[in-house]
């Protein structure tokens, strides 16, 4: 990590065979006759009179069958221009589902106002930040799952976090982060109070990842809530004087002590376009 590593943010059946279950070449062979010879050839060699080949009628598959597995894979086109210049942490492959575990933050109007103040101030240092649309604290890296792994992993997560109680965190320290490939920079609020509970949760999430031979979370993580981001590594522009002024904005914001205290009552897992929630006790 730079400052601290950041988790990456992250998605009909078809084939060459015909509907009868064979390839086009095999279908042609069936129409030619036994032994691969043509009907005319069979008549020449005394195998019997030539038989007229009849066209094979195929009934169309019902929509219920065609749509049966449509939700198992996402249609994704890698075009960074459609995502503000963001670059995937790993290439998209059909059947792979980007997955991560996190604690969701309730969006409050006051927090949105604070975010806009920080974004506006960063422009003075020629940094154009994009506001985050949702807030969360990551408990895992973004990993790749095959579709048939999703439900077993979710079930294992549910079992590992079932004993955890709700707790509070305080996040008031402004910090600058980059992802591992340094293709994006983030301005976030680092968690201070509640750090030990987060480490306990990560320990259980890591056990689940190990079950599926997936990467565990970062060592000595800096838990944080990202508020805004930009493309590229702009830590040099954001740190130093700019970071100090951003911290002054947070410290001077009305009711910041109350605003930046978060209660966690559930854990979530996102896999592609699927969301799973695990309530805390």
d(CA 73, CA 161): 28
pLDDT of the residue at 94: 75
User: At a CB cut-off of 8 Å and minimum separation 6, what does 213 contact?
Assistant: none
For strands 167-179 and 274-279, give the pairing.
Answer: unpaired
224 annotated active-site: yes
pLDDT of the residue at 102: 98
d(CA 145, CA 124): 41
Pick the range with the lowest mean pLDDT from 93-97, 127-131, 223-227, 244-248.
Answer: 93-97
Of residues 92, 148, 195, 224, which has the active-site annotation? 224
User: At a CB cut-off of 8 Å and minimum separation 6, what does 223 contact?
Assistant: 137, 138, 169, 171, 190, 191, 194, 195, 198
| Total length of the chain | 281
d(CA 217, CA 201): 11
The per-residue DSSP string of 187-254 comes to: EEEEE-TTHHHHHHHHHHHHHHHHHTT---PPSS---EEEEEEEES--HHHHTTHHHHHHHHHHHHST
Of residues 45, 83, 121, 136, which has the active-site annotation? 136
Q: Rounded to the nearest 10 degrees, what angle do helices 241-252 and 109-122 cross at? A: 150
Pick the range with the lowest mean pLDDT from 114-118, 170-174, 255-259.
Answer: 255-259
User: At a CB cut-off of 8 Å and minimum separation 6, what does 172 contact?
Assistant: 189, 192, 250, 251, 256, 257, 260
pLDDT, tens digit, 9 for 90 and up, residues 66-102: 555 555 444 445 554 554 555 555 555 678 999 999 9
**Kind and range of the H or E run holding 259:** helix 256-259
pLDDT of the residue at 95: 80
Q: How confident is the model at residue 31 (pLDDT cuts 50, 70, 90)?
A: very low
pLDDT, tens digit, 9 for 90 and up, residues 142-156: 999 999 999 999 999
Asked whether the whole model's pTM tops 0.85, one would answer: no
Tell me how crowded residue 11 is: count the other CB atoms within 10 A of its CB: 15
195 annotated active-site: no
């Amino acid at each position: 990590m730079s400052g601290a590593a950041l988790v990456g943010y992250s998605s009909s059946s078809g084939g060459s065979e015909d509907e009868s279950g064979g390839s086009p070449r095999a279908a042609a062979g069936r129409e030619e006759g036994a032994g691969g010879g043509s009907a005319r050839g069979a008549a020449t060699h005394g195998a019997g009179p030539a038989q007229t080949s009849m066209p094979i009628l195929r009934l169309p598959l019902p929509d219920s069958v065609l749509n049966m597995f449509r939700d198992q894979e996402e249609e994704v086109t890698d075009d960074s221009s459609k995502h503000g210049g963001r670059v995937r942490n790993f290439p998209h492959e059909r059947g792979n589902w980007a997955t991560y575990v996190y604690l969701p933050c309730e969006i409050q109007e006051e927090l949105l106002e604070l975010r806009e103040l920080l974004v506006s101030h960063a422009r003075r240092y020629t940094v154009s930040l994009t506001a985050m649309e949702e807030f969360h604290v990551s408990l895992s890296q973004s990993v790749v799952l095959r579709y048939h792994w999703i439900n077993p992993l979710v079930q294992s997560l549910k079992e590992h976090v079932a004993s955890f109680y709700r707790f509070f965190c305080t996040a008031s320290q402004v910090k600058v982060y980059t992802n591992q490939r340094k293709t994006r920079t983030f301005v976030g609020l680092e968690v201070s109070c509640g750090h030990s509970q987060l480490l306990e949760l990560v320990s259980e999430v890591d056990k689940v990842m190990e079950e599926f031979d997936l990467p565990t979370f970062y060592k000595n993580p800096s838990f944080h809530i990202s508020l805004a981001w930009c493309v590229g590594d702009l830590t040099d522009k954001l740190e130093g004087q700019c970071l100090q002024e951003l911290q002054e904005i947070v410290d001077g914001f009305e009711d910041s002590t109350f605003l930046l205290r978060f209660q966690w009552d559930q854990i979530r897992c996102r896999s592609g376009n699927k969301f799973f929630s695990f309530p805390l006790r």
